[in-house]
Amino acid sequence: MQKVRSIAQLKKNLHQWRKQNLSIAFVPTMGNLHEGHIKLVLAARKKADKVVVSIFVNPTQFGVGEDFESYPRTEEDDEIKLKEACADLLFLPSVLEIYPEAMETIVSVTKLSTRHCGKSRPNHFNGVATIVVKLLNMVQPDIAFFGEKDFQQLAIIRKMVNDLNISCEIIGVETERELDGLAMSSRNNYLTESERKIAPKLYHSICKARENVLLGVKDLKVIEKEQYDYLASLGFVVDYFSICRCDNLQPAKVSDNEIVILVAAKLGKPRLIDNIYFSR
Closest alpha carbon to 124 in 70, 72, 78, 61: 61
116 is catalytic: no
Active-site annotation holder among 34, 37, 116, 124: 37
Distances (CA, A) of 181 to 146, 247, 271: 20, 25, 17
Rounded to 10°, the helix 7-19/124-139 angle is 50
In the 8-state DSSP scheme, what is residue 254? T
* Coil, helix or strand at residue 232: helix
Distance CA 61, CA 55 (A): 14
Do the beta carbons of residue 98 and residue 139 sit within 8 Å? no
Do the beta carbons of residue 165 and residue 144 sit within 8 Å? no
- Phi and psi for 55 in degrees, rounded to 5? -125, 115
Distance CA 30, CA 72 (A): 9
Q: What is the CA radius of gyration of the chain?
A: 19
Residues with catalytic annotation?
37
